[in-house]
Amino acid sequence: MIFTFVNLSAFTYYSIAPFASEIRTLHEKIHNLNETGVRKKRSPIFSDELDNKDVAPSSKSSLSRPVCNRTRHLFHSMDAVEAAYQQLESFHNRGGNIKTIETYLNDHMDSTLNRLKITFTPDGDGDGDDDESEQLSPETSISQEIMHLLAKHDEHNRGGYDQRKMPGHYNSRPATSNFLEGNPKDNRVVFDVLEPTEDFKRWKEGLGPIPDLCHHLDYIKPQGDSKRQSSEEKFMCSLPLKKDENNSPTHNIEKKKAATIPPSASASSCELISIGCNGEWGFEKNIAATTNCQTHTFDCTLPNHEPHKPNITTIHFYPTCIAHEYKRIKKRKMEYLTYAQTVERAGLTDSPTLLKMDVEGFEYDVLTQMIVDANVHNGDSDNRHNSDKNKTDMLPLQISVELHYATRMYDLPWMPRMRTAAEIALFFRDDV
């Protein structure tokens, strides 16, 4: 799955909310997301009165939230952003995600038993004894039948509280018997649901609503002969393209209402950071051909650290990777930088126009640490007045990231398993 986050607020907390257009390619949804600001109950949420600089929230006002003016041109309107924020706030922070995940897991109880080839035989009279009865047919919902039998034989009308025995028994093979928790003779038997792995269902349930907010959703198709042509396709909100004959940006897809682009978002000040190229340069070649952007590409996993970089002056290569903390693995000659160190290594003095990451599962800790670092820095009033750019100022205007629920990278402790829908939902939740 590929997503784009847009840094909308001047001050950011851990609130990465999915915003922008939704399209379908290769049977998966590509989403543009907006990163929202400090969570406070204000109305209206976002202020329309902006200057050319990022502004901090005013302690004297409780009516508005400041907005990063450099990203405002990316959206239809601030009214649309506010409406989308309210929708996402309801899902991510007011219980919508919990109910969605609950329903998602409930819907896969029977499929879990089917995958494990576990069947169920009712006891007939509901007393929990092994009476002669026929095994349920494959077409019958086991979970619904169990609840139906419990309700049918609830003698004291206590909703199941004093019904200690199952109204039948599961039939399982030795290899799957341990999957069922509890004593089938004396207690209720329960089990964990196995989540489906097909059709990106865990993404759809965990992400929540996907509002359409982009003025332009640009499709960045790799140029040249790429070994992984389809997987190299990227999307970005309002890519700062080169000018056409009419001196207006020529976008890769159908144009929407024209946006006024401030000088800070112009192509002449465009710096992209691309992390994880795997020796494929189709994205960088497209950017070089269609924009005036400088692309800084990082990858420490290439064999013998030989990038075979195209001979294009606007493409720069660095043999390092990204992680939530700095580390050097001498045996593999690999160096991992934090986001702040990556920006510094690229020599940037202003926010990157785009941070593009395909880092095989490292993205979760990296994104979390970026926002933690920014907020720690914002809370330090002394640091706010240092001459150096503070960490919030250097957060990217957009993040295009490929999220993974499985990985081959054994440095990640969750490598042997898959990410769950609940983890995905929590990743996008505002915990502040």
For residues 310 and 335, state if they share a domain: yes
Do 31 and 1 form a contact (C-beta atoms < 8 A)?
yes
Same-domain check for residues 207 and 292:
yes
Pick the last residue of a domain from 127, 142, 177: 177
Residues 8 and 146 occupy one common structural domain: no
Q: Tell whether 312 is covered by a domain.
A: yes
222 and 252 housed in the same domain: yes
Give the structural domain span for 358.
2-104+200-427
Whether 72 and 128 share a structural domain: no
Question: Quick check: 265 and 397 in contact, CB under 8 A?
Answer: yes
Please report whether residue 55 resides in a domain.
Answer: yes
Question: Is 114 contained in some domain?
Answer: yes
Residues 295 and 416 placed together within one structural domain of the fold: yes
Q: Does one domain contain both 95 and 127?
A: no
> 214 and 333 in one domain?
yes
96 and 243 fall within a common domain: yes
Q: What is the pLDDT along the chain (432 residues), one digit of tens a residue?
A: 445 555 543 222 222 333 222 222 222 322 333 333 333 333 344 444 433 344 333 333 332 445 677 788 888 888 888 888 888 888 988 889 999 999 999 999 999 999 999 999 998 665 555 555 788 998 999 999 999 999 999 999 999 888 888 888 899 887 787 888 876 555 578 899 999 887 688 888 888 888 888 888 888 888 765 555 556 678 888 888 775 444 455 554 433 333 344 444 444 579 999 999 999 999 999 999 999 999 999 999 998 778 889 999 999 999 999 999 999 999 999 999 999 999 999 999 999 999 999 999 999 999 999 988 877 765 544 444 443 455 557 889 888 888 888 999 999 999 999 999 999 998 887 543
CA distance 319 to 299: 5
Determine the Cα–Cα distance for residues 212 and 226; give it in Å rounded to an integer: 30
List Cβ neighbours of 147 (8 Å cut-off, separation of 6 or more).
Answer: none
pTM of the model as a whole: 0.76
Nearest one of 320, 270, 323 to 295, comparing CA atoms: 270
Is the residue at 191 inside a domain? no
Q: Does 46 map to a domain? A: yes
Q: Cis check for the bond before 122: say yes or no (omega within 30 of 0).
A: no
pLDDT digits (tens, 9 = 90+) for 108-161: 999 999 999 999 999 866 555 555 578 899 899 999 999 999 999 999 999 988
38 and 13 fall within a common domain? yes
Residue 389 belongs to a domain: yes
Instruction: Note whether 279 and 415 are same-domain residues.
Output: yes
Q: Is residue 250 part of a domain?
A: yes
Query: Is 220 a domain residue?
Result: yes
Q: How far is Cα 94 from Cα 364, in angstroms, rounded to an integer? A: 23
Spatial separation of the C-alpha atoms in residues 10 and 55, rounded to whole Å? 6
- Number of structural domains (the chain) is 2
Q: Looking at the structure, do residues 278 and 408 belong to the same domain, yes or no? A: yes
Question: Which DSSP string corresponds to 152-199?
Answer: HT-TT-STTTT--S-SEEEE--HHHHTTSBS-TTTS--B-PPPPP-ST
